[in-house]
Protein backbone atom coordinates (compact mmCIF):
# COMPACT_ATOMS: atom_id res chain seq x y z
CA UNK A 1 0.00 0.00 0.00
CA UNK A 2 1.42 3.41 -0.89
CA UNK A 3 1.94 5.81 2.05
CA UNK A 4 -0.80 8.34 2.78
CA UNK A 5 0.07 11.72 1.22
CA UNK A 6 1.19 14.41 3.65
CA UNK A 7 -1.41 17.09 4.43
CA UNK A 8 -0.99 20.51 5.93
CA UNK A 9 -2.61 19.27 9.15
CA UNK A 10 0.29 16.84 9.64
CA UNK A 11 2.72 19.74 9.65
CA UNK A 12 1.27 23.11 10.53
CA UNK A 13 0.89 22.55 14.29
CA UNK A 14 4.10 20.62 14.90
CA UNK A 15 6.37 22.02 17.61
CA UNK A 16 7.88 25.03 15.83
CA UNK A 17 11.45 23.75 15.99
CA UNK A 18 10.43 20.45 14.40
CA UNK A 19 8.45 22.23 11.69
CA UNK A 20 11.31 24.63 10.91
CA UNK A 21 13.89 21.84 10.86
CA UNK A 22 11.81 19.80 8.43
CA UNK A 23 11.12 22.81 6.22
CA UNK A 24 14.76 23.85 6.07
CA UNK A 25 15.86 20.25 5.40
CA UNK A 26 13.41 19.93 2.49
CA UNK A 27 14.45 23.35 1.23
CA UNK A 28 18.12 22.36 1.10
CA UNK A 29 17.33 19.26 -0.95
CA UNK A 30 16.00 21.40 -3.78
CA UNK A 31 17.39 24.93 -3.46
CA UNK A 32 20.45 26.92 -2.50
CA UNK A 33 19.34 28.17 0.97
CA UNK A 34 21.17 31.50 0.56
CA UNK A 35 19.66 32.47 -2.77
CA UNK A 36 16.46 34.49 -3.15
CA UNK A 37 14.56 35.06 -6.39
CA UNK A 38 13.70 38.74 -6.89
CA UNK A 39 10.64 39.95 -8.77
CA UNK A 40 9.52 43.52 -9.44
CA UNK A 41 5.86 44.48 -9.61
CA UNK A 42 4.26 47.18 -11.69
CA UNK A 43 0.62 48.17 -11.65
CA UNK A 44 -0.16 48.69 -15.35
CA UNK A 45 -3.79 49.60 -14.63
CA UNK A 46 -4.71 50.79 -11.18
CA UNK A 47 -8.06 51.08 -9.38
CA UNK A 48 -11.69 51.09 -10.50
CA UNK A 49 -11.92 47.29 -10.38
CA UNK A 50 -15.47 45.83 -10.59
CA UNK A 51 -14.64 42.92 -8.23
CA UNK A 52 -15.40 43.10 -4.51
CA UNK A 53 -12.27 41.56 -2.92
CA UNK A 54 -12.55 42.77 0.69
CA UNK A 55 -8.81 43.26 1.11
CA UNK A 56 -8.19 45.30 -2.00
CA UNK A 57 -7.63 49.03 -2.32
CA UNK A 58 -8.38 48.80 -6.05
CA UNK A 59 -11.98 47.60 -5.86
CA UNK A 60 -14.41 50.31 -6.97
CA UNK A 61 -16.79 48.88 -4.35
CA UNK A 62 -14.43 49.63 -1.49
CA UNK A 63 -14.10 53.05 0.02
CA UNK A 64 -10.43 53.59 -0.73
CA UNK A 65 -9.91 56.94 -2.42
CA UNK A 66 -7.79 55.52 -5.19
CA UNK A 67 -8.82 56.84 -8.60
CA UNK A 68 -9.08 54.59 -11.64
CA UNK A 69 -6.20 54.92 -14.09
CA UNK A 70 -6.09 53.90 -17.74
CA UNK A 71 -3.87 51.07 -18.97
CA UNK A 72 -0.28 52.33 -19.10
CA UNK A 73 1.39 52.89 -22.45
CA UNK A 74 3.64 50.08 -23.61
CA UNK A 75 6.75 52.27 -23.85
CA UNK A 76 6.36 53.50 -20.27
CA UNK A 77 6.07 49.93 -19.05
CA UNK A 78 9.23 48.97 -20.92
CA UNK A 79 11.11 51.96 -19.50
CA UNK A 80 10.17 50.82 -15.98
CA UNK A 81 11.19 47.25 -16.80
CA UNK A 82 14.62 48.42 -17.99
CA UNK A 83 15.14 50.18 -14.66
CA UNK A 84 14.11 47.07 -12.76
CA UNK A 85 16.55 44.94 -14.75
CA UNK A 86 19.40 47.38 -14.15
CA UNK A 87 18.68 47.16 -10.43
CA UNK A 88 18.88 43.36 -10.39
CA UNK A 89 15.32 42.02 -10.72
CA UNK A 90 15.02 38.88 -12.86
CA UNK A 91 11.25 38.69 -13.17
CA UNK A 92 8.92 41.50 -14.12
CA UNK A 93 5.32 41.15 -12.93
CA UNK A 94 2.61 43.36 -14.38
CA UNK A 95 -0.74 43.62 -12.62
CA UNK A 96 -4.05 45.10 -13.76
CA UNK A 97 -7.15 45.84 -11.69
CA UNK A 98 -9.48 43.91 -13.95
CA UNK A 99 -12.04 41.14 -13.53
CA UNK A 100 -10.54 39.80 -16.78
CA UNK A 101 -8.80 41.42 -19.75
CA UNK A 102 -11.02 42.99 -22.43
CA UNK A 103 -10.28 42.27 -26.07
CA UNK A 104 -9.48 45.94 -26.72
CA UNK A 105 -6.65 45.77 -24.17
CA UNK A 106 -5.07 42.55 -25.42
CA UNK A 107 -2.80 44.06 -28.13
CA UNK A 108 -1.12 46.37 -25.61
CA UNK A 109 -0.83 43.64 -22.99
CA UNK A 110 0.75 41.26 -25.52
CA UNK A 111 3.18 43.98 -26.63
CA UNK A 112 4.19 44.50 -22.99
CA UNK A 113 4.92 40.79 -22.56
CA UNK A 114 6.92 40.69 -25.78
CA UNK A 115 8.86 43.85 -24.95
CA UNK A 116 9.74 42.77 -21.40
CA UNK A 117 10.76 39.32 -22.64
CA UNK A 118 13.01 40.93 -25.26
CA UNK A 119 14.82 42.75 -22.44
CA UNK A 120 15.89 39.34 -21.13
CA UNK A 121 13.61 39.39 -18.09
CA UNK A 122 11.21 36.66 -17.08
CA UNK A 123 7.66 37.85 -17.64
CA UNK A 124 4.68 37.56 -15.30
CA UNK A 125 1.19 39.01 -15.50
CA UNK A 126 -1.82 39.11 -13.23
CA UNK A 127 -4.90 40.33 -15.07
CA UNK A 128 -7.77 38.46 -13.41
CA UNK A 129 -9.65 35.57 -15.02
CA UNK A 130 -8.46 34.33 -18.42
CA UNK A 131 -10.18 32.27 -21.09
CA UNK A 132 -8.20 29.63 -22.99
CA UNK A 133 -7.66 31.81 -26.03
CA UNK A 134 -6.23 34.66 -23.93
CA UNK A 135 -3.92 32.24 -22.13
CA UNK A 136 -2.63 30.84 -25.42
CA UNK A 137 -2.02 34.31 -26.86
CA UNK A 138 -0.13 35.38 -23.74
CA UNK A 139 1.99 32.24 -23.98
CA UNK A 140 2.75 32.93 -27.64
CA UNK A 141 3.81 36.49 -26.77
CA UNK A 142 6.37 35.12 -24.32
CA UNK A 143 4.61 35.01 -20.96
CA UNK A 144 6.55 32.86 -18.49
CA UNK A 145 4.27 33.08 -15.40
CA UNK A 146 0.67 33.98 -14.69
CA UNK A 147 -0.28 34.99 -11.14
CA UNK A 148 -3.79 34.17 -10.00
CA UNK A 149 -4.26 33.52 -6.30
CA UNK A 150 -6.87 31.34 -4.66
CA UNK A 151 -6.52 33.84 -1.78
CA UNK A 152 -7.87 31.63 1.05
CA UNK A 153 -9.66 28.34 1.79
CA UNK A 154 -12.73 27.35 -0.18
CA UNK A 155 -14.72 27.65 3.08
CA UNK A 156 -13.62 31.21 3.91
CA UNK A 157 -13.57 32.44 0.32
CA UNK A 158 -17.16 33.73 0.23
CA UNK A 159 -16.45 35.88 3.31
CA UNK A 160 -13.86 37.76 1.25
CA UNK A 161 -15.03 37.79 -2.38
CA UNK A 162 -18.51 37.32 -3.81
CA UNK A 163 -18.15 38.47 -7.42
CA UNK A 164 -16.21 35.40 -8.59
CA UNK A 165 -16.03 31.94 -7.13
CA UNK A 166 -13.25 29.72 -5.85
CA UNK A 167 -14.09 27.40 -8.75
CA UNK A 168 -13.64 30.30 -11.24
CA UNK A 169 -10.13 30.73 -9.86
CA UNK A 170 -9.29 27.05 -10.25
CA UNK A 171 -10.57 27.12 -13.82
CA UNK A 172 -8.34 30.04 -14.75
CA UNK A 173 -5.38 28.23 -13.20
CA UNK A 174 -6.18 25.12 -15.27
CA UNK A 175 -6.32 27.21 -18.47
CA UNK A 176 -3.00 28.85 -17.65
CA UNK A 177 -1.45 25.42 -17.05
CA UNK A 178 -2.95 24.01 -20.26
CA UNK A 179 -1.45 26.91 -22.23
CA UNK A 180 2.02 25.92 -20.98
CA UNK A 181 2.50 29.00 -18.78
CA UNK A 182 4.11 28.55 -15.36
CA UNK A 183 1.56 28.95 -12.59
CA UNK A 184 2.01 31.46 -9.77
CA UNK A 185 -0.75 30.90 -7.21
CA UNK A 186 -0.93 31.53 -3.50
CA UNK A 187 -3.01 33.52 -1.09
CA UNK A 188 -3.33 35.96 1.77
CA UNK A 189 -3.19 35.24 5.47
CA UNK A 190 -4.33 37.49 8.28
CA UNK A 191 -7.82 38.14 6.90
CA UNK A 192 -9.56 36.72 9.98
CA UNK A 193 -9.40 33.14 8.74
CA UNK A 194 -8.65 30.21 11.05
CA UNK A 195 -5.50 28.08 11.06
CA UNK A 196 -7.65 25.34 9.49
CA UNK A 197 -8.41 27.73 6.61
CA UNK A 198 -4.72 28.38 6.08
CA UNK A 199 -4.09 24.65 6.02
CA UNK A 200 -6.96 24.04 3.59
CA UNK A 201 -5.63 26.76 1.29
CA UNK A 202 -2.21 25.09 1.21
CA UNK A 203 -3.76 21.65 0.64
CA UNK A 204 -5.68 23.04 -2.35
CA UNK A 205 -2.52 24.56 -3.85
CA UNK A 206 -0.42 21.44 -3.24
CA UNK A 207 -3.25 19.20 -4.51
CA UNK A 208 -3.55 20.89 -7.93
CA UNK A 209 -2.73 18.42 -10.74
CA UNK A 210 0.71 20.09 -10.78
CA UNK A 211 1.82 22.27 -7.88
CA UNK A 212 2.30 25.95 -8.84
CA UNK A 213 5.90 26.80 -9.69
CA UNK A 214 5.56 29.93 -7.59
CA UNK A 215 3.51 30.29 -4.39
CA UNK A 216 3.12 33.85 -3.07
CA UNK A 217 2.14 34.02 0.59
CA UNK A 218 0.87 37.52 1.30
CA UNK A 219 0.39 38.94 4.78
CA UNK A 220 -2.73 41.10 4.65
CA UNK A 221 -1.83 44.75 4.29
CA UNK A 222 -4.91 46.41 5.79
CA UNK A 223 -5.89 49.14 3.33
CA UNK A 224 -7.88 52.18 4.44
CA UNK A 225 -11.50 52.14 3.30
CA UNK A 226 -11.65 48.38 2.69
CA UNK A 227 -13.83 46.03 4.78
CA UNK A 228 -10.64 44.46 6.17
CA UNK A 229 -9.02 47.78 7.15
CA UNK A 230 -9.34 47.09 10.88
CA UNK A 231 -8.53 43.38 10.89
CA UNK A 232 -6.29 42.62 13.88
CA UNK A 233 -2.79 41.54 12.83
CA UNK A 234 -2.03 37.82 12.60
CA UNK A 235 0.49 36.41 15.06
CA UNK A 236 3.74 36.39 13.02
CA UNK A 237 4.52 32.83 14.11
CA UNK A 238 1.33 31.72 12.33
CA UNK A 239 2.73 33.35 9.21
CA UNK A 240 6.01 31.46 9.61
CA UNK A 241 4.08 28.21 10.08
CA UNK A 242 2.20 28.90 6.84
CA UNK A 243 5.46 29.42 4.94
CA UNK A 244 7.10 26.31 6.43
CA UNK A 245 4.07 24.14 5.65
CA UNK A 246 3.97 25.47 2.07
CA UNK A 247 7.66 24.65 1.68
CA UNK A 248 7.22 21.03 2.83
CA UNK A 249 4.05 20.42 0.82
CA UNK A 250 5.48 21.98 -2.36
CA UNK A 251 9.19 21.15 -2.10
CA UNK A 252 10.25 22.29 -5.57
CA UNK A 253 8.09 25.44 -5.79
CA UNK A 254 9.40 28.91 -5.11
CA UNK A 255 7.60 30.19 -2.00
CA UNK A 256 7.35 33.97 -2.08
CA UNK A 257 7.43 36.09 1.04
CA UNK A 258 5.08 38.47 -0.70
CA UNK A 259 3.03 41.46 0.53
CA UNK A 260 3.57 42.75 4.04
CA UNK A 261 7.36 42.79 4.33
CA UNK A 262 7.36 46.53 5.05
CA UNK A 263 5.69 45.74 8.39
CA UNK A 264 8.00 42.83 9.22
CA UNK A 265 11.15 42.95 11.32
CA UNK A 266 14.44 41.64 9.95
CA UNK A 267 14.12 38.79 12.44
CA UNK A 268 10.70 37.76 11.17
CA UNK A 269 11.87 37.86 7.56
CA UNK A 270 14.94 35.80 8.51
CA UNK A 271 12.66 33.20 10.09
CA UNK A 272 10.55 33.13 6.91
CA UNK A 273 13.66 32.53 4.78
CA UNK A 274 14.70 29.77 7.19
CA UNK A 275 11.21 28.29 6.87
CA UNK A 276 11.78 28.01 3.12
CA UNK A 277 10.70 31.30 1.56
CA UNK A 278 13.01 31.94 -1.38
CA UNK A 279 11.43 34.71 -3.39
CA UNK A 280 10.45 38.32 -2.71
CA UNK A 281 9.13 41.43 -4.40
CA UNK A 282 11.74 44.16 -4.53
CA UNK A 283 11.36 47.91 -4.84
CA UNK A 284 9.54 50.34 -2.61
CA UNK A 285 6.10 49.78 -4.14
CA UNK A 286 3.96 46.70 -4.70
CA UNK A 287 0.81 47.58 -6.66
CA UNK A 288 -0.59 50.36 -4.47
CA UNK A 289 1.05 49.57 -1.12
CA UNK A 290 4.57 50.10 0.15
CA UNK A 291 7.46 47.63 0.30
CA UNK A 292 10.96 47.95 1.83
CA UNK A 293 13.20 50.22 -0.24
CA UNK A 294 16.38 49.28 -2.06
CA UNK A 295 18.77 50.20 0.75
CA UNK A 296 16.80 48.42 3.43
CA UNK A 297 16.73 45.16 1.46
CA UNK A 298 20.42 45.49 0.55
CA UNK A 299 21.22 45.76 4.28
CA UNK A 300 18.98 42.80 5.10
CA UNK A 301 20.60 40.63 2.41
CA UNK A 302 24.09 41.62 3.59
CA UNK A 303 23.21 40.93 7.21
CA UNK A 304 21.78 37.48 6.42
CA UNK A 305 24.35 36.55 3.75
CA UNK A 306 21.64 36.19 1.15
CA UNK A 307 22.14 36.66 -2.57
CA UNK A 308 19.78 37.59 -5.35
CA UNK A 309 19.23 34.64 -7.67
CA UNK A 310 20.29 35.23 -11.23
CA UNK A 311 18.71 33.84 -14.37
CA UNK A 312 20.34 30.58 -15.47
CA UNK A 313 22.05 32.08 -18.51
CA UNK A 314 23.59 34.88 -16.46
CA UNK A 315 24.59 32.73 -13.48
CA UNK A 316 28.26 32.14 -12.62
CA UNK A 317 29.87 28.68 -12.43
CA UNK A 318 28.35 26.49 -9.69
CA UNK A 319 31.36 26.70 -7.31
CA UNK A 320 31.02 30.49 -7.29
CA UNK A 321 27.25 30.28 -6.92
CA UNK A 322 27.69 28.26 -3.72
CA UNK A 323 29.81 30.95 -2.06
CA UNK A 324 28.04 33.25 0.36
CA UNK A 325 29.29 36.42 -1.36
CA UNK A 326 27.02 38.47 -3.54
CA UNK A 327 27.72 37.31 -7.06
CA UNK A 328 25.28 39.56 -8.83
CA UNK A 329 25.22 42.91 -10.50
CA UNK A 330 23.19 44.51 -7.78
CA UNK A 331 25.83 44.82 -5.08
CA UNK A 332 24.29 43.12 -2.13
CA UNK A 333 20.53 42.97 -2.49
CA UNK A 334 18.36 42.77 -5.50
CA UNK A 335 16.33 45.76 -4.45
CA UNK A 336 15.03 48.01 -7.15
**Residues at the interface with ligand SAM (CB under 6 A):** 55-56, 95, 97-98, 126, 128, 148-149, 151, 188, 218, 220-221, 223, 259, 287
Nearest to 335 by CA among 275, 293, 289, 273: 293
175 is catalytic: no
Q: Which of 49, 272, 330, 334 is catalytic?
A: 49
Q: Distances in Å between the alpha carbon of 128 and those of 24, 38, 51, 96, 216? A: 33, 22, 10, 8, 16
Q: How far is the CB of 212 from ligand SF4 (least distance, A)?
A: 17
The footprint of ligand DTB (CB under 6 A) covers 41, 57, 95, 126, 147, 149, 186, 216, 218, 221, 258-259, 286-289
| 115: contact with ligand SF4 by CB under 6 A | no
Q: Is 53 among the residues known to form the active site? A: yes
Query: Are 330 and 88 a contacting pair, CB within 8 Å?
Result: yes
Length of the chain: 336
186 binds ligand SF4 (CB under 6 A): no
- The verdict on 53 binding ligand SF4 (CB under 6 A) reads yes
| Nearest CA-CA partner of 274 in 14, 25, 6 | 25
Residues 123-162 that bind ligand SF4 (CB under 6 A): 128
| CB neighbour burial string for 112-122, b if at least 16 within 10 angstroms, e if fewer | bbbbbbeeebb
Per CB under 6 A, 81 contacts ligand SF4: no
From the candidates 38, 184, 330, 334, which is the catalytic residue? 184
Asked about 184 being catalytic, the answer comes back as yes
22, 38, 91, 93: the catalytic one is 93
Q: Which is nearer to ligand SAM, 199 or 287 (CB)?
A: 287
Count the helices and strands in the chain (H runs, E runs): 11, 10
110 binds, among ligand SF4, ligand SAM, ligand DTB, none (CB under 5 to 8 A by kind): none
Q: Is 97 in the site for ligand SF4 (CB under 6 A)?
A: yes
Helix (H) or strand (E) holding 90: none
**How many angstroms separate the CA atoms of 101 and 179, rounded?**
16
In the annotation, is 328 catalytic?
no
In the bound complex, what is the minimum distance in angstroms from residue 328's beta carbon to ligand SAM?
A: 27
For residue 299, indicate whether it is catalytic: no
Minimal distance, residue 154 CB to ligand SAM, in Å = 15
Per rule CB under 6 A, is residue 51 in the interface with ligand SF4? yes
Where do the DSSP E strands lie in 106-258? 122-126, 145-147, 182-184, 187-189, 214-219, 254-257
Residue environment code for 187-220, b if the CB has 16+ CB neighbours within 10 A, otherwise e: bbbbbebebebbbbbbbbbbebeebbbbbbbbbb
Nearer to ligand DTB, 20 or 54 (CB): 54
Check binding of 59 to ligand SF4 (CB under 6 A).
Answer: yes
User: Is 261 in the active site?
Assistant: no
DSSP symbol at 152: S
Catalytic residues: 49, 53, 56, 93, 124, 184, 256
Q: List contacts with ligand SF4 (CB under 6 A).
A: 49, 51, 53, 56, 58-59, 97, 128
Amino acid sequence: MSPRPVHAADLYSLPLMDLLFRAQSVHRQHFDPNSVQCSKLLSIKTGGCPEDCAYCSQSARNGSDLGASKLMEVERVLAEARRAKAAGATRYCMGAAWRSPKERDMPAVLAMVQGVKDLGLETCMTLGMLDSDQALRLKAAGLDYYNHNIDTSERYYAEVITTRSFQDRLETLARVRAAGIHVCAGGIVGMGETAADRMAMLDTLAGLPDAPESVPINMLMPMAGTPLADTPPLDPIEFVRTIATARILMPTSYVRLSAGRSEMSDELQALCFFAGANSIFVGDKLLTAGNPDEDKDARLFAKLGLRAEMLAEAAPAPDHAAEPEHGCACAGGCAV
